Chain A
Amino acid sequence: MAEFALSRDPFGRLVLTGEDGVVHVAVVPVRAFPIGAPDEGLSLVSADGHELAWIARLEALDTARRTLIEQDLASREFVPEIRAIRAVSSFATPSTWTIETDRGPTALVLKGEEDIRRLARSSLLIADRNGIQFLVRDIGALDRASRKLLDRFL
């Protein structure tokens, strides 16, 4: 791993200073496997889309830099996890679902059944009309009513 320094500028952007002393402003951390293995493989990408540094494991990084990266990720990563499905407007698409997520209650519009992607046996990724990805980590962990509603779309 190449050595680099990380800081935050007054505009709230990450600034990376490489080994060679070149300063990159507005660096973006990107997880390589956001769903499969979120903590493995993280890339710091420059504003024009080139990789500047590769971090194999986030834990291996010192606290200061890790905090900076984690802060940035927290403000950009948005995959609400569905905790419960309260109601659906119809069983045919497009359908509006009233849901509870780990980020509070909201509604999503499902455009078509093909927007529900099966990740593993019991986890789903649901894309809503605006491109937000909602995660169902474990279908079995949902309550009965939610499971029943969800089942109609699977």
Chain B
Amino acid sequence: MQMNEPTQPPTAPDSAVPEAWRAAVRERLAAGERVLASLEIDLDARLRFGDGLVVVTDRRISARAPGAAAWQDWALRDDLMLRKRDHAGVGTVELVDGARRIDHWCFTLGRDTAAQRLLEALELAQVARSSGTDAQRPPPRCTRCQAVLPTGSEECAACAPAPAEAPPSTWVLFRLWRFARPYRGQLLLGFVLTVLATAATLVPPYLTMPLMDRVLIPYQKGVPIEPGTVGLYLIGLFGAALVAWILGWARTYTLALVSERMGADLRTQTYEHLLGLSLQYFGGKRTGDLMARIGAETDRINLFLSLHLLDFATDLLMIVMTAAILASIDPWLALVTLLPLPLIAWLIHLVRDRLRTGFEKVDRTWAEVTSVLADTIPGIRVVKAFAQESREAERFREANRHNLAVNDRVNRVWSLFSPTVTLMTEIGLLIVWGFGIWQIAGDSITVGVLTAFLAYIGRFYLRLDSMSRIVSFTQKAAAGAKRIFDILDHVSSVPEPAHPVMLPKVEGRIQIEGAAFRYGNRAIIRGIDLDIAPGEMIGLVGHSGSGKSTLVNLICRFYDVTDGTVRIDGIDVRSVPVAQFRRHIGLVLQEPFLFFGTIAENIAYGKPDATRAEIVAAARAAHAHDFILRLPHAYDSLVGERGQALSGGERQRISIARALLIDPRILILDEATSAVDTETEKEIQKALDNLVKGRTTIAIAHRLSTLRKANRLVVLDRGQVVEVGDHETLMEREGAYFRLYQAQVRQGDESDEASRHKVWRDEDTDG
């Protein structure tokens, strides 16, 4: 990254000081004094929330603690130092000299980067002071990629975070338009058909008017019925019904077709997006919940689009058309007829909010119910082993009870809603009857007009009733859509680079510089530097929890570093497209995962177009060929979800074959042999030796003996590298590695004994 030209030294505090403090700081600066960095603190010494500021200038450190009235100053001197530590979400910066702690300030971890900059600024100022030069403010760097930022900007253009999410509402449904777009032609056709079909259904009530006024009423007055006229009207009625039937069918079919496709698109896109999210996302979610979202929620949205929304549109059209027809026949009567409409609309609005939150809650409890299943079924062996079936059943019952309680609450509101609308309908009809009779008595309208009105509003109010139902459906669909868009809007914490750098050929050099990783408030990796040459084998050693797996996850880019960089062949891994980068990495895990399918398919998982010869060659190299041939269908044998029919060692060798087949430049072995006994381990080790040849390899192993072949051993402790060297050097040094090794040698005899027993038992069951 090119360094920017150093800008003119600013005399006034500018971007180095937060807006709110600028005036206060400017006031205190001496002539020519320059602010190098500042940290806004939000906690006082007793960890109560409050605002304060720590400033580092080229001459002194100034601080105003939260709640304190005055500033405190410390002129720079040689032994003055800032130190930073954090615990449980609280960071502390301590000002120390050689003898004691002078002061300390606390802040929440959101300001961690600013604190880091403050420390760096003081270091620079001290260096400048001792060498007598001008202290330059360290160029601001992007917190994500550590690239030097252009002057005046706070964020790196490449890594700018996504804007905060807008609050969702029913409007979230409009975002579904994105999925409707490809089908706009069919949608338009469907709409036209809807208009026509609705118009056709409105013809019959209109014909009741002349039937009444010209046929029935005159007949009562003694005029005989004319069969021709009546026939004509009846044919008209029949024709309208027939046309409405055909059009209705065409419209429903067209629109159902479209919505079904939209639903499928929605489902696949959500799943695709989900697969693109980082491991961090999956770590925080429950499988059951995600499954419910992709399965049930998309289905609900689909149903809403194909059925409820369609009905609603039809209803709305019908109401508008009916209102127009009624107004054209008799405006006054129309006015009276339409009077209950606003009342019902208001009622709908009233219930809307209560129902929406209710339905969201129902969804969440539903996800909870599925989560219980998803937690328990994969762990069924543990459940049975500890005889906790009744406890799990109780947990499920409890989740269901919660579900019931939430549903009951929603239903209480909901059940009141429909009858109320029906009541309104009846009252509306009553008003029309009354007003109509009064009008007829005054000779303002004919009996036919009243009959037509009653026929119309019979449908009209009926529609209102069904329209009111749309409220709940819309709310349900909106809640569903929100949960879907929660996934779709989630930006992967391992983002695809904006300006990807292609990585056509990989040598296999890995450089890790100042890498740090934080999970929640826990720092797992802190400041690791490591340079791995192409073809070198590195053994990662350390207690569990020392950060070995996390380091490997950072190299694979399952997570991104919080600080520092990981580079492959000198290129930041964050600037390489994720999929392209991972193609060069072969991964063998402790718990090999076999997908449902044949053994051949499982071996070819990373390279689906592999030839059979390649598959067999890979299996041979992985020492898996022989046992595969012993299976009833050899390479075509089906293996289950967790490869249940195969032993741990066999599954592991299949996963090694899988890694061999893609011929990666970089190989990662994460406790590849720790789940098996020593005998099997020897088999696997032979397979691994084939795999390691000529590749950059990073191996994590609990058993240190498996790392004999490593060029260098890297000993990690609590997220930091404590020792690097080969076995002999590290043993001579008698440090952390020596202690680890000694501990294992002591245990060695016992575990050998134990594993021998295990081998016998395995053979017993195999035979």
Which residues of A come within 8 Å of B, CB atoms? 10-12, 48-49, 74-80, 89-94, 101, 103-106, 112-115, 127-133, 151-152, 154
Contact = CB atoms under 8 A, between A and B. Distances in A.
Given A92-B167, A131-B109, A104 B48 contact: yes
Interface stretch (B82-90, B267-275, B382-390, B678-686): B82-90
A92 to B, nearest CB: 5
Given A103-B48, A104-B49, A76 B167 contact: no
Contacts of B178: none
Given A76-B88, A94-B164, 20 more contacts: A11-B100, A11-B101, A12-B104, A74-B47, A76-B90, A78-B90, A90-B168, A93-B165, A94-B165, A101-B49, A103-B48, A104-B49, A106-B42, A114-B284, A114-B286, A128-B89, A131-B89, A132-B108, A132-B109, A154-B361
A91 B48 contact: no
A127 to B, nearest CB: 7
Given A10-B101, A103-B49, A104-B49, A133 B89 contact: yes
A113 to B, nearest CB: 7
Contact of B482 (A10, A75, A79, A92): A92
Q: Considering the complex of A and B, which 3 residue pairs feature the smallest CB-CB distances, nearest first?
A: A131-B521, A10-B100, A90-B167
Given A10-B99, A114-B285, A132-B89, A49 B521 contact: no
A113 B285 contact: no
B101 A113 contact: no
B729 interface: no
Contacts of A90: 165-168
A104 B286 CA distance: 34
A149 to B, nearest CB: 11
Interface in B64-98: 87-90, 94, 96
B45 interface: yes
Contacts of B49: 80, 101, 103-106
Nearest to B83: A11
B751 interface: no
B364 interface: yes
Contacts of A154: 361, 364
Interface of B: 42-43, 45-50, 87-90, 94, 96, 99-101, 104, 106, 108-110, 164-168, 284-286, 289, 357, 360-361, 364, 482, 486, 518, 520-522, 717-718
A48 B543 CA distance: 12
A75 B45 contact: yes
Contacts of A79: 88
A138 B181 CA distance: 48
Contacts of B165: 90, 92-94
7 contacts: A75-B45, A80-B49, A90-B165, A104-B48, A104-B49, A133-B88, A154-B364
Contacts, number: 96
A74 B47 CA distance: 8
Nearest to A108: B108
A101 B49 CA distance: 9
Contacts of B360: 91, 152
A105 B48 CA distance: 9
Nearest to B521: A131
Contacts of A114: 284-286, 289
A28 B196 CA distance: 78
A55 B48 CA distance: 28
Contacts of A94: 164-165
B396 to A, nearest CB: 17
B284 A131 contact: no
B401 to A, nearest CB: 13
Nearest to B91: A130
Contacts of A49: 718
A71 B640 CA distance: 56
Contacts of A130: 89, 108-110, 521
Contact of A92 (B46, B108, B486): B486
Given A103-B49, A131-B521, A12 B89 contact: no
A34 B62 CA distance: 36
A76 B718 contact: no
B374 to A, nearest CB: 14
Contacts of A113: 364
A104 B360 CA distance: 32
A82 to B, nearest CB: 12
A112 B520 CA distance: 13
Nearest to B365: A154
A89 B167 contact: yes
A115 B88 CA distance: 15
Nearest to A112: B284
Contacts of A101: 49
Nearest to A9: B100
Contacts of B364: 113, 154
A91 B50 contact: no
Contacts of A131: 88-89, 109, 518, 520-522
Given A89-B167, A131-B109, A76 B101 contact: no
Contacts of A78: 43, 47, 88-90
Contacts of B108: 130, 132
A110 to B, nearest CB: 12
Nearest to B545: A49
Nearest to B483: A92
Contacts of B46: 74-75
A116 to B, nearest CB: 11
A74 to B, nearest CB: 7
Contact of B101 (A12, A80, A112, A115): A12
Nearest to A109: B110
A101 B50 CA distance: 12
A92 B356 CA distance: 13
A131 B520 CA distance: 5
